[in-house]
Amino acid sequence: MRTPYFLIEESKIVRNLEILADVKRRTGCKILLAQKAYSAFFTYPLIAGYLDGTAASGLYEARLGKTAFGKETHVFSPAYNDEEWDELMLYADHVIFNSPTQARKFLPRAKAAGKQVGLRLNPECSTQEGHGIYDPCGKYSRLGTTKANLDAETADMLDGVHMHTLCEQDSDALEITVAALEEKFGDVLKKVKWINLGGGHHITREGYDIERLVRTVKGLSDRYGAQVYLEPGEAVVLNAGQLVCRVEDITDNGMKIAILDASAACHMPDVIEMPYRPPLQGSGLPDEKKYTYRLGGPTCLAGDVIGDYSFDRPLRVGDILRFDDMALYTMVKTNTFNGMRLPSICLEHSDGSVETVKEFCYEDFAGRLG
Ligand SMILES: *Cc1c(COP(=O)(O)O)cnc(C)c1O
């Protein structure tokens, strides 16, 4: 198999889906796949066997969700537009608005098309530190309607409400945020049919407090007689994929440096954007094992560095390295900066057989540019 390639592991997805199915069974909630994190649609039939539909951020994700997954298609966008609206109505069944002005413009049209309509609320309750760009409750956030901005006329038209405030968090943060939501918007919650608690729930991570999640979700749905939705992305495919790559060269400039055929900037941009250090099979922290290397990509960007890792034996040109947890926020974010070839996409079936689903070529680079 030619490197670099993503290897999606079906058995790991099934493991996650079984945990999510159990949460559904115990709470009566519905769970949607947030396609922003993962859109490898050839696995949608598998996921659709467990979950209730998809969450989309706009026209293309809604179309993919409706056509490849089926079931329910929910869409939230910070701003809809006239050019895309009619086509969007072909795919979406639940339409969520970001502001009362967007609702005034599009909600009557959505209702006339027989859609469920909702408003994204901002409970103004930050529960995350560090990753400011992932906090929709931060200062001057453009996401969600605050209590001060919600008028009674808009509130009266809603079938449901939505919030999304978490990122890789445990259920204690959800519990705190749900309390804030009830305190600020309790009168609205009493009137709606559904409450969507967004994503960012790290449900399938080892040690996640599922009991507290079940209590929080069930409590909310019992108090208001509403259908609760969760729309995790990460949790569906957590630890369910690898990026397999090869060592192309080894140099030394004050420390050992290995050049890989996989790029942080192009193939795992969250490593730079978030930033974070991806797990690598058989490696340790710098100096934890005997031989430490800085691992970098093949682009001309000086900062195309994945991180510093140590190994029990020296790396050699041609060695294969496997980064873990590479199903989420990777394939949806890759780019061809610097003319880099995109990693192939492979699927490891539960029986261990591996299928190459997609290989990329020059046209995937040039075709986007003219
Ligand atoms: C990103 C996002 C999600 C999924 O978040 P994860 O952290 O991947 O679980 C769900 N809903 C909305 C509105 C989002 O923007």
DSSP string, 52-104: -EEEESSHHHHHHIIIII-SEEEEE-S---HHHHHHHHHH-SEEEESSHHHHH
pLDDT at residue 253, rounded to an integer: 98
Closest ligand 1 atom number to CA of residue 120:
13
Select from 143, 126, 158, 149 the least CA-distant residue to 224.
Answer: 158
- Residue 229's pLDDT is what? 99
pLDDT confidence of residue 9: 98
Those residues of the chain that have pLDDT short of 50 are none
> How many angstroms does the Cα of residue 317 sit away from the middle of ligand 1?
39
What pLDDT, on a 0 to 100 scale, did the predictor assign at position 133? 85
Query: CA 38: distance to chain centroid?
Result: 6
Q: Which ligand 1 atom lies nearest to the CA of residue 76?
A: 13
Predicted local confidence at residue 152, as pLDDT: 97
User: Is residue 123 within 8 Å of 184, Cβ to Cβ?
Assistant: yes
Pick the atom of ligand 1 nearest to 328's CA. 8
pLDDT at residue number 323: 98
CA 83 to centroid of ligand 1, rounded, Å = 25
- Using the structure block, give the residue that is written with the tokens 């309390």: 179
Rounded Cα gap, residues 117 and 96, in angstroms = 6
Task: Output the ligand 1 site: residues, CB below 6 A.
Answer: 34, 36-37, 55, 76, 164, 167, 198-200, 231-235
CA of 149 to the centre of ligand 1 (A): 23
pTM, 2 dp: 0.97
Among 36, 128, 142, 230, which residue has the most ligand 1 atoms within 8 Å of its CB, making it the best to mutate? Answer: 36
- Four-residue CA torsion sign, 13, 19, 20, 24: positive
Atom of ligand 1 nearest to the CA of 168: 7
Pairing verdict, β 241-252 and 256-260? antiparallel
Determine the 3-state secondary structure of 306 from DSSP.
strand
**Residues 10/15/18/20 CA torsion (nearest 10 deg):** -100
Reduce the DSSP state of residue 138 to 3 states and report it.
coil
Q: What is the C-alpha separation between 302 and 295, in angstroms, rounded?
A: 12
Strand pairing class (53-56; 72-76)? parallel
pLDDT of residue 1: 87
